[in-house]
Amino acid sequence: MNLTNAETYSLWVNSGGMCAICKRKLILDDIDKKINIGERAHIIGQGSKEGPRREYMEQYGLTEDTIDSLWNIVLLCETDHKIVDQNEKQYPPELLYKIKKEHEAYVKNRLDMYGKSIIVIHKRKGGPIDHIEIAGQIESVMVDSVTLQDEFTDFSRGGWEKARKQNDEFYERLMDIKKKHEGASIAFFSVSPIPLLIHFGHLISDSIPIDVYQYNRAFQTWVRNTPTELPAHSMEIHVDLKTNNTNCLAVAIEVSGHIRSTDVSSAIGKTHDLLKISVPDPKIDAVLYSDDVLKIKKTFQDEILRLIQIKGYSEVHLFYFGPAGLALEIGRCINATMFPYVSLYQFNERDNPRHKFAFAI
């Protein structure tokens, strides 16, 4: 095929990365190895005179020089491509041009309503997930994806440093992809060790718009906005500060469960002040939707900045028990010019101490 890179990209975006007939998503992801299973199908075939629908070439004003024109090519999955070319009478040019036109109008309507997205998967706990399945759970049109899905198992100091560098590289890859898709939002999905998510959020920062999705274990689906059928509510957040007049602040964020003060003391190993930010009944899936996530994030940011100005803390130690998406958002508001270094900890009920230092940002 003689489509230029720009034309190929245009075909892909105009088609929403979907088969024009069955609407199947046409990128598969095998642990960060993207496989394009979409096929650029000629409506009026190229090559030999026996090519599919070749006899209509003059009727539609095509020549050997224009047979590869973008308007004569439709994006299909492998299965539908074979069906179309093996059943020419059932799929004449008029029908295929109509299918292409209606599909691209459908995609444009979705783009106008919901925009386009780059799917980002940061999953370093357990096995990989297929972003095609995820793409079906968002309203925007997926134009690309980037994933980091190698399971993280080395919790040594060296292992954390290696994972931190992998985060840096993953961030650079994401930024390179974002440059190629002007106007595309980022849709973020994550199941990874908390220090890595906070660090990755720190890299993204609050300057880049991002839609953060969280996994609802009860329904085994990814969610973001509060469903309309749920009653309106305002998340209550408790803030409690115990001070020992030190320059060291420990912050415990309790959303999915409680954090023992004795564990914090064991992990830090010196006198500290303790700020607790919690919801009334910490438990798994207590916070799923963006309104609650952003409210907790703002509380964390406002309280830390207020206390740093009042108390002049020179170090912050962050202990976190909550969902993955919120961890990323917490990291996004840790500003290097306004925060001292923030030490991050990994929790394991079977370890002693239960919270172990990972690295600082």
pLDDT value, residue 141: 82
Quick check: helix, strand or coil at residue 150?
coil
* 269 has a pLDDT exceeding 60: yes
Q: Predicted confidence band at 133 (pLDDT cuts at 50, 70, 90)?
A: confident
Q: Across 230-306, where does the E strand assignment appear?
A: 238-242, 248-254, 273-278
pLDDT value, residue 219: 86
Contacts (Cβ under 8 Å, ≥6 apart) of 301:
333
Prediction pTM value: 0.82
Which alpha helices (H) appear in 15-92, and where do they start and end?
A: 78-86
Q: Across the chain, where does the E strand assignment appear?
A: 27-29, 34-36, 38-42, 73-77, 116-123, 141-148, 185-191, 211-216, 221-223, 238-242, 248-254, 273-278, 315-321, 342-347, 355-360
Residue whose C-alpha is closest to residue 250's, from 327, 202, 157, 313: 313
Mean pLDDT of the chain: 91
Q: Give tens-digit pLDDT for 75-127.
A: 999 999 999 999 999 999 999 999 999 999 999 988 888 888 899 999 999 98
* Alpha carbon distance 93, 85 (integer Å): 11
* Alpha carbon distance 279, 286 (integer Å): 8
* 30 has a pLDDT exceeding 50: no
Q: Which tokens is 330 given?
A: 């917490």
Cis peptide before 353 (omega within 30 of 0): yes
* Alpha carbon distance 322, 201 (integer Å): 15
Cβ-based neighbour number of residue 199 at 10 Å: 27
Q: In terms of DSSP bridges, do strands 141-148 and 116-123 run parallel, antiparallel, or are they unpaired?
A: parallel
* 2 has a pLDDT exceeding 70: no
* Alpha carbon distance 44, 326 (integer Å): 51
pLDDT value, residue 82: 95
- Tell me the β-bridge partners of 250: 274, 317
Return the axis-axis angle of helices 93-114 and 5-14, rounded to nearest 10°. 80
Residue whose C-alpha is closest to residue 131's, from 28, 19, 23: 28
